[in-house]
Amino acid sequence: MSSSEGASTGGPTSGSTTGSSGNAGTTLLNSNSSHDHPSQIITRPRLQELVREVDPTEQLDEEVEELLLIMADDFIDSTMNAACLLAKHRHVSTVEVKDVQLHLERNWNMWIPGFGTDELRPYRRATATEAHKQRMALIRKTLKKY
């Protein structure tokens, strides 16, 4: 176990994950306390189960399992840190589902169906300016010549 593994789920996830969904975040952290490493959200048996769902004949090397577990913990840690920052930006002391949803949607292009509300609107890029449209038309016209 590397030194970053033990600290990866400490911090803001331990007490501030409650919100509109009750104690789901805290329950998730406490439910794995009897497995290999209490600080890991995803355990080796759960990772192996996920791999079997994708391909029942696939076996992961021990090093690959360890790397995937570390990456999963780091992903969860960074997501929760970002969600905490969003909650802080909203001037509230609890992380809500919409904070996690916003981070996942904007930074990872992920939408988890069935959680929260449809309050978040799809992220849209700003409309192109008229000058940009003219430049693009000129480029297309030039490319057609060749």
Spatial contact of 89 and 103, defined as CB atoms under 8 Å apart: no
CA distance 86 to 92: 9
pLDDT band at 55 (very low <50, low <70, confident <90, very high): very high
Between 128 and 17, residue with greater pLDDT: 128
Q: Tell me the pLDDT band of 135, cut-offs 50, 70 and 90.
A: very high
The arithmetic mean of pLDDT across residues 22-50, rounded, is 59
Could you tell me the pTM of the whole model? 0.53
Mean pLDDT of the chain: 75
Partners of 115 in beta bridges = none
Does pLDDT of 12 surpass 60?
A: no
| Cα dihedral value 85, 88, 89, 94, nearest 10 | 100
- pLDDT for 73-107, tens place per residue? 999 999 999 999 999 999 999 999 999 999 998 99
- Please name the residues in contact with 140: beta carbons below 8 A apart, sequence gap of 6 or more: none
pLDDT cut 90: percent of the chain above it: 49
Distance CA 79, CA 110 (A): 12
Confidence of residue 40 (pLDDT cuts 50, 70, 90): confident
Residue 19, pLDDT > 60, answer no
* pLDDT greater at residue 88 or residue 21: 88
pLDDT > 50? residue 32: no
